[in-house]
Amino acid sequence: MKLQSYAQGEWYASSTTGTVIHHAISGEAIAEISSEGLDFQAMLDYARQVGSPNLRRYTFHQRALMLKALGQYLMERKELFYTLSKATGATRTDSWIDIEGGIGTMLVFASKGRRELPNSNLYIDGSQEQISRHGTFTGIHVYTPITGVALQINAFNFPVWGMLEKLAPSFLAGVPSIVKPASQTAYLTELVVRHIIESNLLPEGSLQLICGSTGDLFNHLTYQDAVSFTGSAWTGQKLKQHPTVVANSVRFYMEADSLNSSILGNDVQVGSPTFDLYIKEVVREMTVKAGQKCTAIRRAIVPADKLEAVAEALKARLSKISVGDPDIEGVRMGALAGLDQRNDVRGRIAELAKNNEIIFGSADAVDVVGANPESGAFMAPVLLASRDPYHTAAHDVEAFGPVSTLIPYQTDEEAIALAALGKGSLVASVVTASPSVARNLVVGVAPHHGRVLVLDEKAAKESTGHGSPLAHLIHGGPGRAGGSEEMGGIRGVKHYMQRTALQGSPDMLSAVTGMWLQGAERHLDSVHPFQKNFNELEIGDAVISEKRTINLADIEAFADLSGDKFYAHMDQAAAQRNPFFKDRVAHGYFLVSLAAGLFVWPGEGPVLANYGLDHLRFATPVYAGDTLQVQFTCKQKTNRETEDYGEVRWDTTIVNQDGAVVANYDVLTLVAKEAHREGVNS
Ligand code: NAP
């Protein structure tokens, strides 16, 4: 099989002989890879001139719906991917992480995109900033997609997940991708890309694929492009220092190697359920994907007095791991991705063995079930133990295979210092039953890690494990781990957008952002905004309510109705002793209810439901005798693509007789797109 690239909307096979790739289990040649002859400048031009405008034409929600459809399409074809995934040496569980984990990640972005991003092509960051005395000049931040290309370079260990976890956020942002998988497992990425292209679900130019080297592509990158790299620190740092990347300030996100640690808390007794959790977690991390995970536990940091017990328990469990052809029942660990990889891991074990003792397994010998141990890239799990915790090579050498080193510690402070010797890692886990040990260790290790798992019996019931990055949470780490972040929900989408501070009048910035800002004009007309359907409503449509003076009887009636008889509402002397009130104060919830009574249009109409409030703050206490009025303004509309209603956010400001703001909040409603208003056909 000659792997093809997908460039400028066409499949391209290089005419030159490429590098041969071998099956991880059988060792047979299965593919040949070369990108020789590709015109990289033309690929970039195509992405910028075709892909980028095509994508930016859509809103976040429209792109999210495309991602959802694509995720479902790929899920229906997953068995094809599982079949080919075996060639990478993966077991069914390993492939599940890669294939369904990748598609699942895409689906999470599809769902978050519709729930957390506006149905627009501009994303507002944070709140309006008051930067002038009279409010005629204001500020706000927005994100817009960069107009170039997301170049995504992936490591060999997750050929599907690695692509989809980068493609989903960049696509959602509105930026076309050029994907470059690692050569060793590019055949699986190529198969998935074929199905993506065949699906016809993505706009033209959204996705191109390079099978083989990136040639002179880096020379043509500009500041409107982003490079997302996953791989070794060595390659990452080399690419990050590429003269064009430096000269043009090209965004460069790097997910590199990492010497992740798992700390067993000092409180944990040998043989306790928490102790068993630790043993299971370390073994799982050593053996899933044959240890070829950037997040795997490389350093098991354990109390010195329990090191022997931990070693014995790990050895007992590791001895039950059968290595071999994953098609054979009972095989728990497959092969490494290739023989080069195995040579590399053997070399790293030799380095580790210089000042650590191998206490289980061997770098060279392995019992293999159902396959030839020499032609396949098989390895036994290898456990080492350190005698000198501060000077072990385990803090420097990453063996990207089923390899871990036990390191002893005395105090929590020492455990933290040892974890930090990884010089910045993707993930640490803290396994403890003690909240105070958890807090102490987490606060200590957090500055050195992008993610920390606190594992106890309760969390273990549903824990996704030390080694699993999740679409919702950030993945990445400081220092050696690359100093970047990926995913983390919508945070990951922002990596492909430019944040810009906008300054101007509230009217201008409302028009630009599509969100009514404080100080902008309100449109007051004879039709109450609740009588307008979603399509008729405009940002700034408002109602200024009648006034209502409240009295003590109102406060008491509300206390009776709600049952809320807090002293500050009921007892004058007690209220006066309270530092915030000078008398019996009205319930805040009464004010919210009273405001609704003032602003709603009661008749049947297009407003279908109130689904919540945002940002509610009570600013000024209200006493009997105060007169209140509500300013109710259409602030933001979010069209729901697949529904016959949209979301409308209303700025709600309650003011008193002195014009002081008593409360401010957003009311959230669902409004029909085509509803009739009373007596009027819209
Ligand atoms: P690698 O050798 O650094 O390669 C990573 C990627 O860079 C591959 O796609 C590779 O393509 C490409 N590449 C290499 N030289 C390049 C160049 N001059 N220009 C453009 N691209 C270039 O790493 P690997 O062996 O694939 O992966 C293993 C490493 O990745 C481990 O150290 C692991 O810890 C790390 N990793 C990190 C994460 C994370 O999220 N932090 C995840 C997985 C793996 P070719 O294959 O074609 O050379």
Distance 451 CA to ligand 1 centre (A): 21
Pocket mutation for ligand 1, best pick of 154, 187, 230 (most atoms within 8 Å of C-beta): 230
In this structure, the answer to whether residues 248 and 267 fall within a common structural domain is no
- Whose CA is closest to 644, among 610, 670, 669? 670
Distance 486 CA to ligand 1 centre (A): 16
SS3 331: coil
Could you identify the atom of ligand 1 that is nearest to the CA of residue 231? 30
The set of residues, in sequence order, having a beta carbon less than 8 Å from that of 231 and lying 6+ positions away, is 153, 154, 155, 182, 255, 256
Could you identify the atom of ligand 1 that is nearest to the CA of residue 400? 31
Distance 622 CA to ligand 1 centre (A): 63
Could you identify the atom of ligand 1 that is nearest to the CA of residue 257? 34
In this structure, the answer to whether residues 293 and 409 fall within a common structural domain is yes
Is residue 42, in this structure, part of any structural domain at all? no
Q: Whose CA is nearest to atom 42 of ligand 1?
A: 294
Could you identify the atom of ligand 1 that is nearest to the CA of residue 214? 20
Q: Compute the half-sphere exposure of residue 114: CA atoms within 13 Å on the CB side of its CA.
A: 19
pLDDT at 533 over 90: yes
Whether the Cβ atoms of residue 68 and residue 107 lie closer than 8 Å to each other: yes
Is residue 476, in this structure, part of any structural domain at all? no
Q: Whose CA is nearest to atom 34 of ligand 1?
A: 257
Q: Whose CA is nearest to atom 43 of ligand 1?
A: 294
Distance 231 CA to ligand 1 centre (A): 3
> What does the pLDDT look like over 106-120, one tens digit per residue?
999 999 999 999 999
In this structure, the answer to whether residues 283 and 219 fall within a common structural domain is no
- Cβ burial, residue 74 (10 Å; 0-12/13-18/19+): buried
Could you identify the atom of ligand 1 that is nearest to the CA of residue 476? 41
Tokens 């507002």, residue located? 124
413: which DSSP letter? H
Distance 671 CA to ligand 1 centre (A): 49
Distance 342 CA to ligand 1 centre (A): 16
> What does the pLDDT look like over 130-167, one tens digit per residue?
999 999 999 999 999 999 999 999 999 999 999 999 99
In this structure, the answer to whether residues 111 and 74 fall within a common structural domain is yes
pLDDT of residue 247: 98
**Distance (Å, rounded) from C-alpha 156 to C-alpha 159?**
6
Of 482, 498, 514, which residue constitutes the final position of a domain? Answer: 498
Is residue 182, in this structure, part of any structural domain at all? yes
CATH of the domain at 105: 3.40.605.10
Could you identify the atom of ligand 1 that is nearest to the CA of residue 294? 34
Pocket mutation for ligand 1, best pick of 22, 34, 156, 297 (most atoms within 8 Å of C-beta): 156
CATH of the domain at 629: 3.10.129.10
Q: Which of 304-308, 324-328, 426-430, 533-537 has the lowest mean pLDDT?
A: 324-328
The set of residues, in sequence order, having a beta carbon less than 8 Å from that of 643 and lying 6+ positions away, is none
Tokens 């060792």, residue located? 27
The residue from 100, 165, 190, 255 that is catalytic is 255
Interaxial angle between packed helices 60-76 and 92-116, expressed in degrees from 0 to 180 and rounded to the nearest 10: 160
Q: Whose CA is nearest to atom 15 of ligand 1?
A: 235
Tokens of 396: 């420097």
**Distance (Å, rounded) from C-alpha 118 to C-alpha 127?**
15
As a whole-number percent, the residues of the chain with pLDDT over 70 amount to 99
- Whose CA is closest to 661, among 652, 651, 653, 670? 653
Whether the Cβ atoms of residue 183 and residue 171 lie closer than 8 Å to each other: no
Q: Any bridge partners for residue 406, and if so which? A: 300, 385
Is residue 74, in this structure, part of any structural domain at all? yes
Whether the Cβ atoms of residue 665 and residue 614 lie closer than 8 Å to each other: yes
**Distance (Å, rounded) from C-alpha 47 to C-alpha 45?**
5
Could you identify the atom of ligand 1 that is nearest to the CA of residue 212? 47
> What does the pLDDT look like over 355-366, one tens digit per residue?
999 999 999 888
Q: Whose CA is nearest to atom 41 of ligand 1?
A: 255
- Whose CA is closest to 113, among 640, 671, 670? 640
Distance 235 CA to ligand 1 centre (A): 7
**Distance (Å, rounded) from C-alpha 258 to C-alpha 551?**
65
Is residue 480, in this structure, part of any structural domain at all? no
Q: Whose CA is nearest to atom 9 of ligand 1?
A: 182
Instruction: Provide the residue count of the chain.
Output: 682
Whether the Cβ atoms of residue 445 and residue 225 lie closer than 8 Å to each other: no
Whether the Cβ atoms of residue 394 and residue 355 lie closer than 8 Å to each other: no
Centre a 10 Å sphere on the Cβ of residue 508 and count the other Cβ atoms it contains.
Answer: 14
Per-residue confidence band for 373, with pLDDT thresholds at 50, 70 and 90: confident
Q: Whose CA is nearest to atom 19 of ligand 1?
A: 214
Distance 384 CA to ligand 1 centre (A): 26
Could you identify the atom of ligand 1 that is nearest to the CA of residue 155? 26
Average pLDDT, the chain: 95
pLDDT at 680 over 70: no
In this structure, the answer to whether residues 250 and 307 fall within a common structural domain is no
- Range(s) of the domain holding residue 159: 53-256+491-498
In this structure, the answer to whether residues 303 and 201 fall within a common structural domain is no
More confident residue, 682 or 604: 604
Per the annotation, the verdict on 294 as an active-site residue is: yes
Distance 361 CA to ligand 1 centre (A): 27
Tokens of 127: 């709140």
Which residues are near ligand 1 (CB < 6 Å)? Answer: 153-157, 180, 182-184, 214, 230-232, 235, 239, 255-258, 294, 398, 400, 426, 481
Strands annotated E in 79-154: 123-130, 138-145, 150-153
The residue from 211, 294, 634, 647 that is catalytic is 294
Whether the Cβ atoms of residue 542 and residue 634 lie closer than 8 Å to each other: yes
More confident residue, 545 or 371: 545
In this structure, the answer to whether residues 372 and 354 fall within a common structural domain is yes
pLDDT of residue 420: 98
Q: Whose CA is nearest to atom 8 of ligand 1?
A: 182
Pocket mutation for ligand 1, best pick of 161, 179, 235, 289 (most atoms within 8 Å of C-beta): 235
227-255: average pLDDT: 96
pLDDT of residue 322: 93
Q: Any bridge partners for residue 324, and if so which? A: 369
> What does the pLDDT look like over 19-56, one tens digit per residue?
999 999 999 999 999 999 999 999 999 999 999 999 99
The set of residues, in sequence order, having a beta carbon less than 8 Å from that of 385 and lying 6+ positions away, is 307, 311, 356, 357, 359, 405, 406
Is residue 7, in this structure, part of any structural domain at all? no
Instruction: Write phi, then psi, for 69 (nearest 5 degrees).
Output: -60, -40
pLDDT of residue 168: 98
372-394: average pLDDT: 93
Is residue 401, in this structure, part of any structural domain at all? yes
**Distance (Å, rounded) from C-alpha 5 to C-alpha 185?**
14
Distance 337 CA to ligand 1 centre (A): 13
Pocket mutation for ligand 1, best pick of 190, 227, 234, 294 (most atoms within 8 Å of C-beta): 294
pLDDT of residue 675: 61
The set of residues, in sequence order, having a beta carbon less than 8 Å from that of 213 and lying 6+ positions away, is 35
Whether the Cβ atoms of residue 274 and residue 457 lie closer than 8 Å to each other: yes
In this structure, the answer to whether residues 204 and 295 fall within a common structural domain is no
Tokens 């495309």, residue located? 66
CATH of the domain at 347: 3.40.309.10
Tokens of 7: 């460039």
In this structure, the answer to whether residues 424 and 292 fall within a common structural domain is yes
DSSP string, 238-282: HHHT-HHHHHTT-EEEEE-----EEEE-TTPPTTSHHHHHHHHHH
Rg (CA), the chain: 30
pLDDT of residue 173: 98
pLDDT of residue 682: 38
Whether the Cβ atoms of residue 610 and residue 669 lie closer than 8 Å to each other: yes
Centre a 10 Å sphere on the Cβ of residue 131 and count the other Cβ atoms it contains.
Answer: 11
Q: Whose CA is nearest to atom 46 of ligand 1?
A: 182
End-to-end CA distance of the chain: 61
**Distance (Å, rounded) from C-alpha 277 to C-alpha 269?**
12
Whether the Cβ atoms of residue 273 and residue 501 lie closer than 8 Å to each other: no
Could you identify the atom of ligand 1 that is nearest to the CA of residue 213? 47
Q: Any bridge partners for residue 280, and if so which? A: none
Q: Whose CA is nearest to atom 10 of ligand 1?
A: 182
In this structure, the answer to whether residues 623 and 553 fall within a common structural domain is yes
pLDDT of residue 681: 40
Q: Any bridge partners for residue 253, and if so which? A: 228
Q: Whose CA is nearest to atom 13 of ligand 1?
A: 235
Distance 238 CA to ligand 1 centre (A): 11
Whether the Cβ atoms of residue 492 and residue 485 lie closer than 8 Å to each other: yes
Instruction: Write phi, then psi, for 480 (nearest 5 degrees).
Output: -55, -30
Overall number of domains in the chain:
3
- Whose CA is closest to 495, among 116, 282, 227? 227
**Distance (Å, rounded) from C-alpha 296 to C-alpha 404?**
9
SS3 42: helix
The set of residues, in sequence order, having a beta carbon less than 8 Å from that of 384 and lying 6+ positions away, is 349, 352, 353, 356, 357, 358, 359, 394, 403, 404, 405, 406
Please state whether beta strands 261-264 and 425-431 pair in parallel, antiparallel, or not at all (unpaired): parallel
**Distance (Å, rounded) from C-alpha 399 to C-alpha 347?**
8
pLDDT of residue 369: 86
Centre a 10 Å sphere on the Cβ of residue 358 and count the other Cβ atoms it contains.
Answer: 16
- Whose CA is closest to 225, among 214, 213, 211, 212? 214
pLDDT of residue 401: 96
**Distance (Å, rounded) from C-alpha 327 to C-alpha 322?**
12
In this structure, the answer to whether residues 666 and 537 fall within a common structural domain is yes
Per-residue confidence band for 375, with pLDDT thresholds at 50, 70 and 90: confident
> What does the pLDDT look like over 474-483, one tens digit per residue?
999 999 999 9
**Residue 349 to residues 300, 389, 456, 537, 605, Cα–Cα distance (Å):** 16, 17, 31, 67, 72
Per the annotation, the verdict on 486 as an active-site residue is: no
In this structure, the answer to whether residues 313 and 458 fall within a common structural domain is yes
Whether the Cβ atoms of residue 272 and residue 433 lie closer than 8 Å to each other: yes
**Distance (Å, rounded) from C-alpha 215 to C-alpha 232?**
19
Is residue 40, in this structure, part of any structural domain at all? no
